[in-house]
């Protein structure tokens, strides 16, 4: 924290209090931490109210972290250091102090606004970027500015964490949410509808501005587009820009050594899944057609397709490339964006759970269209956020899904995206894969422990591996002749993804 500078704002809206002792206490504490700091007591003029003071203080502050405190400081002064530590460690962008009094209340306000601050105390901390976009963008003048701050934090996709505090003295019972707060929340939503606030970044799939924060996961925020129902990470900077977030090959555990972790399938299950996918290709392609697989994974599909088609694979991870080449496959270490095709155009391009790892779906589909011959096929397998299985398991799978993927698509969004990119939908339906009994029992036991004994008894009657649904869809689309709609013009006018 030694490199962080802190600005502490002490707004004095309302009755004038004796706050000099508060200022001295804060200065003495921050001096003991070794931080570079400034304490800014913000006194109102005759016409200024709380919201105006916040905007004026944010404009005057120069610190990397901006903290707003109560002038009577009803909590320990160390809470300021805790809030700054959360900001400085990059664990969050905004911190709301809380006494725990609003944990399960005000459901209507939460639906209208998002994460609520605690009205009984005013402790809030912001990174410099968050303060610039949130505090300086507020419009309201009174106490309802706290609601406006929470709404804008959600609108711009900032991470918000709650810092629980124990009060050392009582605070005014009048500072709670009232029916007037609901009116203020509706007013904030109307200002936003009239484009009174700066526009947030657009959805990377449909370019809509109607996006909101759906959930927070470790180190990131998951956003949802209300128009296309796609979920995506708020910030793609952790990706290298050309490859998937991760692609690591690990040996399967030997048979009989306990339950496998989620996602680890036996060689037999992978081979049967690859054979099922290969049969789909046979129905649409002539023998010896040229096929490109993007993301070869363990090479099981390439090994099956290589005996019937002219197979070429690409993968961003060198481990996957080496593993596939060991099988005798023609595989290149490249991403879709920088792959150079030295042969004739491909008759088919195959992506099995790879499309959701690509940060820009429009550029990816444009590149696929360039690689395909006119009339060539795109075989795409991905998760479906409108599917029943995904809806049921979404909350429990958030951290896992977005630890591996960047964008999760809805069926309707994929159809629109493909048609606008120069493809015609041939077939669309659920995708089934083979899973080992041990993996299915492990998955059921971790999600619905009460059903595990019954499900285990039923599974023993079925073949191993068994055919199950993973909540995914398989889309087969055919390339149309002619140029697709130029979506790059829309994207260049206003960027997508992050704030």
Confidence of residue 361 (pLDDT cuts 50, 70, 90): very high
Q: Tell me how long the chain is.
A: 499
Do 328 and 357 meet the contact criterion of CB atoms below 8 Å apart?
no
Confidence of residue 252 (pLDDT cuts 50, 70, 90): very low
Count of other CB atoms within 10 angstroms of residue 219: 13
CA 29 from centre of chain: 37
Confidence of residue 394 (pLDDT cuts 50, 70, 90): confident
Q: Which domains occur in the chain, in start order?
A: 5-193 (3.90.550.10), 267-493 (3.40.50.150)
d(CA 312, CA 329): 7
- Which of 4 and 430 is assigned the larger pLDDT? 430
Whether the pLDDT of residue 426 is over 60: the answer is yes
What is the predicted pLDDT for the residue at 173?
55
In angstroms, what is the C-alpha Rg of the chain?
A: 27
Identify the CA nearest to 446 among candidates 479, 400, 483.
400
d(CA 478, CA 372): 9
Task: Report DSSP letters for 206-232, one per residue.
Answer: T--S-EEEEEEETTEEEEEETTT--EE
Whether the pLDDT of residue 80 is over 90: the answer is yes
| Residue 93, CA distances (Å) to 9, 249, 483 in order | 17, 34, 42
pLDDT per residue over 214-229, tens digit each? Answer: 888 877 888 999 899 9
Do 178 and 472 meet the contact criterion of CB atoms below 8 Å apart?
no
Whether the pLDDT of residue 71 is over 90: the answer is no
Over range 355-375, report the average pLDDT. Answer: 93
What is the predicted pLDDT for the residue at 487?
55
Over range 376-381, report the average pLDDT. Answer: 96
Confidence of residue 46 (pLDDT cuts 50, 70, 90): low
What is the predicted pLDDT for the residue at 251?
38
Least confident of 150-164, 190-204, 347-361, 446-460: 446-460
What is the predicted pLDDT for the residue at 491?
52
CA 71 from centre of chain: 37
């Amino acid at each position: 924290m030694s490199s962080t500078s802190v600005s502490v704002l002490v707004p004095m809206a309302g009755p004038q209090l004796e706050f000099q002792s508060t200022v001295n206490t804060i200065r003495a504490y921050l001096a003991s931490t070794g931080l570079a700091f400034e304490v800014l007591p913000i006194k109102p003029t005759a016409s200024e109210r709380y919201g105006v003071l916040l905007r004026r203080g944010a404009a005057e502050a120069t610190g990397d972290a901006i903290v707003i405190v109560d002038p009577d400081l009803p909590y320990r002064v160390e809470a300021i250091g805790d809030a700054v530590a959360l900001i400085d460690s990059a664990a969050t962008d905004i911190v709301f102090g809380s006494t725990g009094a609003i944990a399960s209340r005000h459901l209507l306000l939460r639906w209208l606004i998002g994460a609520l601050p605690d009205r009984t105390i005013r402790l809030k901390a912001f990174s410099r970027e968050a303060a610039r976009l949130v505090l300086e963008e507020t419009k309201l003048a009174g106490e309802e500015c706290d609601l406006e701050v929470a709404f804008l934090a959600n609108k711009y996709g900032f991470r918000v964490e709650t810092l629980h505090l124990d009060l050392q003295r009582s605070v005014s019972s009048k500072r709670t949410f009232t029916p007037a707060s609901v009116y203020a929340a509706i007013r904030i939503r109307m200002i936003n509808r009239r484009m009174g606030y700066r526009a947030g970044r657009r959805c990377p799939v449909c370019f809509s501005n109607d996006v909101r924060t759906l959930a927070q996961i470790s180190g990131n925020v998951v956003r949802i587009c209300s128009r296309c129902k796609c979920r995506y990470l708020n910030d793609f900077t952790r990706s290298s820009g050309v490859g998937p977030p991760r692609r690591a090959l690990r040996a399967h555990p030997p048979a009989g050594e306990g339950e496998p972790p989620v996602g680890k399938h036996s060689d037999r299950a992978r081979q049967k899944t690859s054979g099922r996918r290969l049969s789909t290709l046979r129905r649409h392609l002539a023998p010896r057609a040229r096929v490109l697989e993007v993301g070869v994974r363990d090479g099981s599909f390439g090994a099956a397709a290589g005996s019937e088609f002219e197979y070429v694979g690409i993968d961003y991870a060198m481990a996957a490339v080496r593993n596939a080449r060991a099988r005798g496959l023609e595989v290149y270490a490249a991403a879709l964006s920088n792959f150079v095709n030295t042969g004739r155009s491909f008759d088919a391009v195959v992506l099995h759970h790879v499309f959701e790892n690509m940060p820009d779906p429009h550029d990816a589909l444009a590149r696929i269209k360039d690689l395909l011959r006119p009339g060539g096929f795109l075989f795409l397998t991905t998760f479906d956020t409108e599917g029943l299985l995904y809806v049921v398991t979404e909350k429990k799978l958030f951290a896992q899904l977005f630890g591996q993927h960047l964008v999760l698509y809805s069926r309707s969004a994929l159809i629109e995206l493909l048609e606008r990119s120069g493809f015609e939908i041939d077939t669309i339906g659920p995708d089934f894969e083979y899973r080992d009994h041990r993996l299915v029992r492990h998955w059921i036991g971790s999600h619905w422990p009460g059903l595990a004994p019954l499900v285990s008894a039923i599974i023993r009657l079925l073949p191993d591996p068994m055919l199950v649904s993973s909540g995914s869809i398989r889309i087969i689309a055919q390339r149309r002749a002619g140029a697709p709609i130029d979506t790059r013009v829309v994207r260049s006018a206003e960027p997508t993804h992050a704030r």
